[in-house]
Chains A and B, each alone.
Chain A
């Protein structure tokens, strides 16, 4: 299915609408449309990630790991973990006494991630789970740290996901949300717009033969809440000491919140 193909099942009466990129779709359909995108890009996801960001996504993730404060013995959940970049680093940090769960809603992304970690010799302390950020199947107070990198914007009900994360964190545990945000400088914003709306779908077409999926990514980035809005959503969900770090001029922001 093409990601931006008109949605035939969309009903006019439906009141629960949400965004799929710039399109309005029924809330029930968003997950399926997002799944279409990631099934389609899974195999070449890592390559695209490097090309799209010029490798900078590695630095964003590196900083995320530093802010996580994860150390030996910790239990970490990486949501929307895709191909497992964060999970790999966490598995080294938590050691034999800790535990990392690499999770994603999408089986294709998860299996690419699992293969990659196994290839890199990680097997002892990482588990894999196919799950939806909105409905986390874990007991209350389970994790020292939960991360979601470039995933929250794909989630249909973000507030629900934030509440669900808060529940599974231990008191004192922290949530880190790494996500595209609002560039802090209007020139940078313009350059970035040109890049993501023109170059990105073009690269997507050349490399994965799927411009639509990358157009969705560009659109979904613009629809995602900006720095202050996301911080407010985390406050509302019940997180304490919420703060964010702008990276690369605010193209990306890392939000942090602690479970009280």
Chain B
């Protein structure tokens, strides 16, 4: 992944979490003490981010020169659900390498924070792929049950509005109206032309007939 894209992703996630910390100074104080690096490796899309606490909140990086204490590997959805609430690793679909204590400290803090992850992720993805793509991807992460229809609608909107690859119904109607008008104009023109032709050639025709 191009470093400017991974930097955009980590910058967005960092700002979402740090905004939440602004309203929760107690959590922010706790996070400042977590100086060990937690690596979170998403399998698809393939992206590893590194996190540790600072006095200004969390620092999230796309590249890390310091050694990591704990590494989590899984799909974005599995990773987020694991980090969001203090559940156990078993059956979470996430693989852990290193110290589990570090994970538990993060879980405790993130659980207290009031972050709308769904919204945050759509925004992050939206910054990169466009707002509509962001919505589709996050709806694909299956936040709620009745998302399938919603997703199909979004996908249709995305293909027509954002990618502009297929015409929308309105565009088709507009187009066929325009075609209809042109056709009528052409017919009118044809009629006038024939009329003119008739006028112009009427005497000549007579002449011709005489010759």
Chain A interface (Cβ < 8 Å from any Cβ of B): 56, 58-60, 62-63, 66-69, 71, 92, 245-249, 254
Contact = CB atoms under 8 A, between A and B. Distances in A.
Contact of B64 (A58, A59, A66, A247): A66
Given A92-B56, A247-B2, A248-B2, A59 B7 contact: yes
Contact of B63 (A60, A66, A92, A248): A66
Nearest to A61: B7
A246 B3 CA distance: 8
A247 B66 contact: no
Contact of A56 (B4, B61, B63, B65): B4
Nearest to A254: B3
A248 B8 CA distance: 11
Contact of A63 (B7, B54, B56, B66): B7
Contacts of A254: 3
Contacts of A68: 65
Contacts, number: 43
A69 B10 CA distance: 16
A195 to B, nearest CB: 16
Contacts of B62: 63, 66
A71 B7 contact: no
Contact of B65 (A62, A67, A249): A67
A66 B4 contact: no
Contacts of A71: 66
Given A62-B11, A66-B61, A247 B56 contact: no
B61 A59 contact: no
| Chain B contact patch, size range | 10 to 19
B7 A62 contact: yes
Interface of A is mostly: helix
A63 B4 contact: yes
Interface string B62-98: 1111100000000000000000000000000000000
Contact of A69 (B4, B7, B65): B65
A70 B63 CA distance: 13
A249 B2 CA distance: 7
Given A59-B11, A246-B2, A254-B3, 12 more contacts: A56-B4, A59-B3, A60-B7, A62-B7, A62-B11, A63-B7, A63-B63, A69-B65, A92-B56, A247-B2, A247-B3, A249-B2
Given A66-B61, A92-B56, A245 B66 contact: no
Contacts of B54: 92
B21 to A, nearest CB: 16
Nearest to B6: A63
Interface in B1-18: 2-4, 6-8, 10-11
Contacts of A62: 7, 10-11
Contacts of B61: 66
A59 B15 CA distance: 14
B11 A66 contact: no
Contacts of B56: 92
B63 A59 contact: no
A91 to B, nearest CB: 12
